[in-house]
A and B are shown apart, each in its own frame.
Chain A
Amino acid sequence: NAGVTQTPKFRVLKTGQSMTLLCAQDMNHEYMYWYRQDPGMGLRLIHYSVGEGTTAKGEVPDGYNVSRLKKQNFLLGLESAAPSQTSVYFCASSTGFGYEQYFGPGTRLTVT
């Protein structure tokens, strides 16, 4: 049981480049989330999904897109990276809102 996995673990992008972060969970959870964490700001929700084929905006969705084509995978895309998107990105999953969220190990992204 791997839990929640994220790829890649580290990435450096130049401004304007695009990339996709992949999150996979093997716990059969319906709910999945993408967060970013910046120093002193806690976790901020980017997008979330309540089931296969559904996505919704969180607190800071601008500049990001997501897709949930399969229940176990949740992809986060950056179409045109900006230095303000330098952050640590965490994926999480849960059985429902308000319940324990299981987190992936994080992706450290630097945009120069």
Chain B
Amino acid sequence: EDKVVQSPLSLVVHEGDTVTLNCSYEVTNFRSLLWYKQEKKAPTFLFMLTSSGIEKKSGRLSSILDKKELFSILNITATQTGDSAVYLCAVCSNYQLIWGAGTKLIIKP
């Protein structure tokens, strides 16, 4: 059965810290991995990864995929209170997106 597991489930850090969120997967036919940020509403897209070893970067956020070890990480540097959210990972396999349960990130001022 296809599955996506995110860790940790929740994380509390102070503003300015750097955080690393993990997403591991076991799927039958990998096509892509996507990261989303969800505040109190709909998920918003962050990154799509298809190839190992190529870092995607947007401001203080970056992500990389390891297709051999079957995981991805999302890094956030110099965190701000506005980064507080649930971060969702999803893997496209066999024409469906398999979603992880998310990591709830809380940034304390």
Interface of chain A, main secondary structure:
loop
Q: Mark A38-77, 1 if CB is under 8 A from B, else 0.
A: 0011111100100000000011000000000000000000
Q: Which residues of chain B come closer than 8 Å to A42, judged between CB atoms?
A: 88, 99-102
> Once bound together, how far apart are the Cα atoms of A98 and B27, in whole Å?
13
Q: Contact residue range for chain A? A: 20 to 34
> Once bound together, how far apart are the Cα atoms of A102 and B34, in whole Å?
12
> Once bound together, how far apart are the Cα atoms of A42 and B34, in whole Å?
14
Q: Mark B24-40, 1 if CB is under 8 A from A, else 0.
A: 00000001101000000
In the complex, the chain B residue whose C-beta lies closest to that of A41 is: B101
B16 contacts the other chain (CB 8 A):
no
Given known A-B contacts A43-B88, A45-B96, A97-B96, A104 and B48 have beta carbons under 8 A apart: no
Interface residues of A (CB under 8 A from B): 33, 40-45, 48, 58-59, 90, 97-106
